[in-house]
Amino acid sequence: MFSRELKQKIGKAILVLCVVIVGFFLFSIIFFILERGLKVISWEFLTAKPKSAMTAGGIMPAIVGTFYLIIGSIIICLPLGVMAAIYISEYARKGKMLVIVRMGINNLAGVPSVVFGLFGMAIFVKYFGFGISILSGSLTLGILALPLIISTSEEALRNVPISYREASLALGATQWQTISQIVLPHALPGIFTGLILAVGRVAGETAPILFTAAAFYVSRMPASIRDEVQALPFLIYALMSEGTHSEKQVPIAYGAALVLLVLVLGISLIAIILRLYLRKRRQQWTMK
């Protein structure tokens, strides 16, 4: 029989080993992208328009298009997801219907992204007539990220102590005043955590924008939300896929992958800073 201390040491060693394995793969991927992407990164590569069917020039339209799609999807999914989470957490009655709704949200989060792409093409591109555009792509990506935002926001709201709600209601505040002024501010750090995860998923999706927003070669900047755009995930896929593969396009694909990685990390860093700031404000408010 193993002693309790020995079991604890074995369990801790296994956990450390898992962390080392995950860290190894993570840094291997980052090193792989950096080693190949830095060779082509230059000011011209980042600011110029593509030339000669993406065998020369830069990727500026793809950077702008990716940024528009990320921001557009966040504008759509964040308010809808938070409002849905507030209703489920604070207003909905407990029962079978609520269980079914939560089960549907969880199942929707596991649906393959290509299904969302087909849905976006059928509804936004064709039925509503938005065409292949930033608007169609943002709506599709927003729906894709919606289950994740709802789940993380609901969890953040439920983690707010019930005593805060009871104290606010006892002082005469309405339920909405309690939610908007007490519960929601304390849940914002958790909501921003969900936002970070959503940005990471949205930025790397190829299938949804393949059907709704992206074009392989667009040498101009989008003038409106009804324009089709280049996007870094689809650009990388197209450059490395069979049929468009060439020696000149491979370095561009690695450079685009590095730019996409930096773009996602930059947006996530901003969200992390906001989350830490809000968490600090919440701690100061609690101490008072």
State yes or no: pLDDT of 131 exceeds 60.
yes
- CA distances to 142, 164, 177, 190, 282 from 288, in Å: 38, 14, 20, 22, 10
The residue among 269 and 248 whose pLDDT is bigger is 269
- Residue 286 pLDDT grade (very low, low, confident, very high; cuts 50, 70, 90): low
Among residues 156, 166, 146, the alpha carbon closest in space to that of 86 is found at 156
Q: Report whether 236 contacts 33 (CB < 8 A).
A: no
Domain extent for 277: 63-287
Domain total in the chain: 1
Is residue 29 included in any domain, yes or no? no
Is residue 38 included in any domain, yes or no? no
- CA distances to 2, 17, 181, 254 from 7, in Å: 6, 15, 47, 45
Q: Report whether 215 contacts 229 (CB < 8 A).
A: yes
State yes or no: pLDDT of 1 exceeds 60.
no
Phi/psi of residue 82, nearest 5 degrees: -65, -45
Rounded Cα gap, residues 178 and 67, in angstroms: 35
**How many Cα atoms within 13 Å fall on the side-chain side of residue 22?**
6
Is residue 209 included in any domain, yes or no? yes
Of 2-11, 20-29, 107-116, 119-128, least confident by mean pLDDT is: 2-11
State yes or no: pLDDT of 122 exceeds 90.
yes
pTM over 0.75, yes/no: yes
Rounded Cα gap, residues 24 and 12, in angstroms: 18
Residue 50 pairs with which residues in a beta bridge? 57
Is residue 240 included in any domain, yes or no? yes
Strands (E), 190-273: none
Tell me the residue type at 276.
L
CATH number where 202 lies: 1.10.3720.10
pLDDT in tens, 219-262: 778 888 888 888 888 888 888 875 455 666 778 888 888 988 88
**Helix, strand or coil, per DSSP, at residue 52:** coil
Is residue 154 included in any domain, yes or no? yes
Rounded Cα gap, residues 212 and 221, in angstroms: 17
Is residue 43 included in any domain, yes or no? no
**How many Cα atoms within 13 Å fall on the side-chain side of residue 222?**
24
Q: Where do the H-state alpha helices sit in 38-112?
A: 43-47, 60-86, 96-109
| Beta carbons within 10 angstroms of residue 90's beta carbon | 17
Rounded Cα gap, residues 184 and 264, in angstroms: 26
Is residue 283 included in any domain, yes or no? yes
- Residue 265 pLDDT grade (very low, low, confident, very high; cuts 50, 70, 90): confident
State yes or no: pLDDT of 58 exceeds 90.
no
Structure tokens at 279: 């968490």
Is residue 39 included in any domain, yes or no? no
Mean pLDDT, residues 35-56 taken together = 81
Residue 214 pairs with which residues in a beta bridge? 229
